[in-house]
Structure 1
Amino acid sequence: MKFVDLHIHTTYSDGVLSPEEVVETAVRAGLSAIAITDHDITDGIERAVMVGSKYGLEIIPGIELSCVHKGKEIHMLGFYINWENSWFQGKLKVFQQARVRRAHQIINRLKKLGIELDEEALFSQAGEGAIGRTHFARALLSSGAVENMQAAFDKFLVKGKPAFVEKFRITPEEGISMIQRAGGIPVIAHPVYGGGQKSFLKRMKSKGLSGIEVYHPSHTASQSRRFLETASELNLLVTGGSDFHGGPTETAPIGSIEVDYAAVEALKKEKLGRERKNRRIME
């Protein structure tokens, strides 16, 4: 059997491994395909594709968009996106600029608490990628302000805590539309955290949702079974992945969530079907 991991982050968002290191780790894990799904940025895809071709590892270009519905955060994965699409990149630029503004707001809030972070080191850690709370958690740990990464979130960075700042989000409908316009397949991520209600999924399917991330490290076996039943009932695709970020708190290594290659074949079939439909419309 061939296995895949359809949810992986790199240093271009809040992962600790470069695209090259992610590919090499996936190869060692014996995977046949992986999806690069950084938060609100696609800059790591090209590097992963180049190295993946060297090893014979199939790289699926992806994205993870932050959405909100009735105050609840919901993430939307997009697979087989045309990541070089200029319109799509323009939309992502809005996300990235908002992340920088948010980062400065968090820095100022921490300063008021008497915590001075090395701003140059903080932004250097994010590199060319999208800065987020995970980068702050690492910086707080390095500064000695907290004893571990989780404490950084619990004390400062989650909603209701003194350094928390809401991030820029779009609606799930907007996320679905963005992914579709970039030629991608929209799939709701880790529905246990939000968006897993059948009524919501049914409504999102009417807006173009194609699948559910059934298999995720945060899902119990019973939750995965429930999401699998919902996917079957609503005729939605099934995906899964490790949601790998890396670092000392990582509990799900690349390839640790067993997902059959059939999930990739189903995504390809969906992509082909949409392309054919679009061609017929244009004729």
Structure 2
Amino acid sequence: MPAGIDLHLHSSVSDGTETPSQLVRAAAAAGLGTIALTDHDSTAGWQEAFEEAPRAGVTVVPGMELSTQLDYASVHVLAYLFDPSDAALVRETARIRAERLARAESMVRRISADYDLEWEDVLAQTTPGATVGRPHIADALVARGHVPNRSAAFASILHWRGGYYRPHYAPEPVHGVKLITEAGGVAVIAHPGVPGVQRVLDDAELRRLVDAGLFGLEVYHRDNPPQARDRLLKAARKYGLAVTGSSDYHGTGKPNRPGENTTEPEVLDRILAAGTGSAPVLGAAA
């Protein structure tokens, strides 16, 4: 497969700003040969991305970013090559999406008491079937002129200290990893070096995750500071975990750019060999 492997990108099916086909074309324009579509708790964008793959010459690995929670920290687990029809995983992701929607509606009701914002404003920022969440509220706040961009919204009105934040249901990480592996998938902890996640992922928790089937850690990500990367690399060596690097691209929703961090070809080969629930769709040049 061609060089340039980015295994963490989002489309408008979750909180990206580009459709799955636009996302695949953006990856091609950035010189990537292989990407994973990893929308939050959803596989709804897979087919569109698969159809674009041969036209754009980009191999698309089917994926998802599964929401999990440990204590008060949101721990996201990247899932690759799982069976999208696995009953247990389908039930859990449906519950998570429903809880996200209810949380978003509750937050908007609270925000609307102090700001000119309606639920219809949020829906206007989504695409049909999208997993509605805080990024869409942020986009609605931007459209209303309350904040200049998503980052400002998350740093103020949508911050957990802002008074409007409400949690939503998500399984514990160990359960999430088991769901993914039992569905034939490959589980990698996303951006494990961010402060909240790093706090809860101590050595004992990592050991539990490894025992549950954890495959790897996304070490090379812009939100993992250098000291956290050092710790994660040591943990990966200790537990025999794969090390990945990704952009976490969201279109214009974040400053992250496709391919700003990438995964080594031999690690991709290991992932492809381990995943049994689905298969990548090869680009024309693959």
TM-score (norm 2): 0.88
Paired residues of 1:61 and 1:83 also in contact (CA < 8 A): no
- Cα distance in 1 for residues equivalent to 2:244 and 2:193: 14
In structure 2, relative to structure 1, the CA distance for the partners of 1:56 and 1:154 (3 Å cut) is: closer
Which amino acid is 1:204 matched to?
L
- Other structure's SS at 2:140 match: helix
Partner of 1:237: 242
- Cα distance in 1 for residues equivalent to 2:184 and 2:81: 7
Q: Mapping of 1:1-283 within 5 angstroms?
A: 2-113=3-114, 115-127=115-127, 128-193=129-194, 194-195=197-198, 196-247=201-252, 250-271=254-275
Shift, 1:28, TM fit: 1.4
Runs of 4 or more consecutive aligned structure 1 residues displaced over 4 Å after TM superposition: none
- Other structure's SS at 1:242 match: coil
- Cα distance in 2 for residues equivalent to 1:83 and 1:234: 28
Residues 145-172 of structure 1: per-residue CA shift (max 9 Å, x gap): 2233223222221212121111221101
Which moved further from structure 2: 15-24 or 196-205?
196-205
Q: How many residues align?
A: 272
Which moved further from structure 2: 199-208 or 136-145?
199-208
- Other structure's SS at 2:32 match: coil
Shift, 1:222, TM fit: 4.4
- Cα distance in 1 for residues equivalent to 2:73 and 2:255: 25
In structure 2, relative to structure 1, the CA distance for the partners of 1:164 and 1:8 (3 Å cut) is: same
**Which stretches in structure 2 are left out of the alignment for 5+ residues?**
279-286
Task: Give the helix-richer structure, 1 or 2.
Answer: 1
Paired residues of 2:193 and 2:225 also in contact (CA < 8 A): no
In structure 2, relative to structure 1, the CA distance for the partners of 1:153 and 1:220 (3 Å cut) is: closer
- Other structure's SS at 2:249 match: coil
- Cα distance in 2 for residues equivalent to 1:4 and 1:55: 15
- Cα distance in 1 for residues equivalent to 2:86 and 2:55: 25
- Cα distance in 2 for residues equivalent to 1:263 and 1:230: 16
Which amino acid is 1:265 matched to?
D
- Other structure's SS at 2:116 match: coil
Which amino acid is 1:251 matched to?
P
Root mean square deviation of aligned Cα: 2.0
Residues 52-103 of structure 1: per-residue CA shift (max 9 Å, x gap): 1223321111111121112222111111112233443232211111122112
- Cα distance in 1 for residues equivalent to 2:61 and 2:235: 25
- Other structure's SS at 1:201 match: helix
- Other structure's SS at 2:44 match: coil
- Other structure's SS at 2:244 match: strand
Residues 232-252 of structure 1: per-residue CA shift (max 9 Å, x gap): 22111122210111226x332
- Cα distance in 2 for residues equivalent to 1:57 and 1:204: 32
Partner of 1:280: none
Residues 176-221 of structure 1: per-residue CA shift (max 9 Å, x gap): 1221232111111111121543332122101221111111111234
